[in-house]
Homo-oligomer: A and B are copies of this chain.
Amino acid sequence: MIPNEAKKRLIEVVGAENYDDTKAGRLVYSYDATPQFQSLPDAVIAPRNTQEVAEIAKICNEYRIPIVPRGSGTNLCAGTCPVEGGVVLLFKHMNRILEIDEENLTATVQPGVVTLDLMKAVEEKGLFYPPDPSSMKISTIGGNINENSGGLRGLKYGVTRDYVLGLEVVLANGDVIRTGGKLAKDVAGYDLTRLFVGSEGTLGIITEATLKLIPMPETKQTMLALYQDLEAAARSVSKIIANKIIPATLEFLDQPTLEVVEDYARIGLPTDVKAVLLIEQDGPKEVVERDMKKMADICRSEQAVSVQLARSEEEAEALRTARRSALSALARLKPTTILEDATVPRSEIAKMVKAINEIAAKYQVKICTFGHAGDGNLHPTCPTDARDRDEMERVEKAFEEIFSKAIELGGTITGEHGVGAMKAPYLEWKLGPAGIAAMKAIKQALDPNNIMNPGKVFAKSTRKRVVVTR
**Residues of A participating in the B interface, judged by any CB pair closer than 8 Å:** 101-106, 126-127, 147-148, 150, 154-155, 159, 161-162, 171, 175-179, 181-192, 194-195, 197-199, 203, 214-216, 238, 241-242, 244-246, 283-284, 286-287, 290, 343-347, 372, 374-377, 410-419, 423, 427, 430-432, 434-439, 441-446, 457, 470
Contact = CB atoms under 8 A, between A and B. Distances in A.
A416 B186 CA distance: 6
Closest 4 CB pairs of A and B: A215-B244, A185-B415, A445-B445, A175-B434
A171 B431 CA distance: 14
A148 B188 CA distance: 11
B441 A372 contact: no
A457 B215 contact: no
Contacts of A436: 189
A195 B189 contact: no
Given A159-B185, A417-B187, A438 B430 contact: no
Nearest to A437: B175
Nearest to A184: B375
Given A104-B345, A104-B347, 11 more contacts: A101-B347, A148-B187, A176-B434, A184-B375, A187-B412, A187-B419, A188-B431, A194-B194, A283-B287, A286-B286, A286-B287
Given A215-B245, A442-B446, A412 B154 contact: no
Contact of A416 (B171, B187, B286, B442): B187
Contact of A345 (B181, B346, B372, B427): B181
A391 to B, nearest CB: 27
Contacts of A431: 177-178, 188-189
Contacts of A188: 412-414, 419, 423, 427, 430-431
A422 to B, nearest CB: 12
Contact of A284 (B186, B284, B377, B446): B284
A162 B159 contact: no
B430 A192 contact: no
Contact of A442 (B179, B181, B343, B442): B442
Contact of A414 (B187, B199, B241): B187
Contacts of A150: 185, 187
A10 to B, nearest CB: 22
Given A104-B345, A242-B102, A347-B101, A432 B178 contact: yes
B184 A155 contact: yes
12 contacts: A104-B347, A177-B435, A178-B432, A183-B345, A183-B376, A186-B343, A187-B417, A188-B427, A189-B435, A191-B195, A214-B246, A442-B445
A194 B183 CA distance: 17
Contacts of A413: 188
A171 B199 CA distance: 21
B438 A104 contact: no
B148 A241 contact: no
Nearest to A191: B194
Contacts of A286: 284, 286-287
Nearest to A155: B184
A216 B244 CA distance: 8
Contact of A438 (B102, B148, B186, B446): B446
Contact of A444 (B215, B412, B415, B445): B445
B195 A195 contact: yes
Given A190-B442, A284-B287, A182 B104 contact: no
Nearest to A160: B187
Contacts of A179: 435
Contact of A181 (B244, B411, B417, B434): B411
A412 B183 contact: yes
B181 A412 contact: yes
